[in-house]
Amino acid sequence: MSAVKHKAVATWLALLLGVFGLHRFYLHGLKDRWAWLFPLPTLLGLVGLQRMDQLGQDDRLAWVLIPLLGLSLVAALLGGIVYGLTPDERWNARFNGGQPVSAGGWPAIIGVVLCLLLGGTALMATIAFSAQRYFESQAEGS
Based on the number of CB atoms within 10 Å of its own CB, is 78 exposed (0-12), middle (13-18) or buried (19 or more)?
middle
pLDDT number for residue 26: 96
pTM: 0.86
Return the domain boundaries, the chain: 7-141
CA 37 to chain centre: 11
Q: Residue 3 phi/psi, 5° resolution? A: -70, 155
DSSP alpha helices (H): ranges in the chain?
7-17, 22-28, 39-55, 60-85, 88-95, 105-141
User: pLDDT under 70 in the chain at which residues?
Assistant: 1, 142
pLDDT number for residue 142: 64
DSSP tag of 4: P
Q: What is the per-residue DSSP string for 57-76?
A: TT-HHHHHHHHHHHHHHHHH
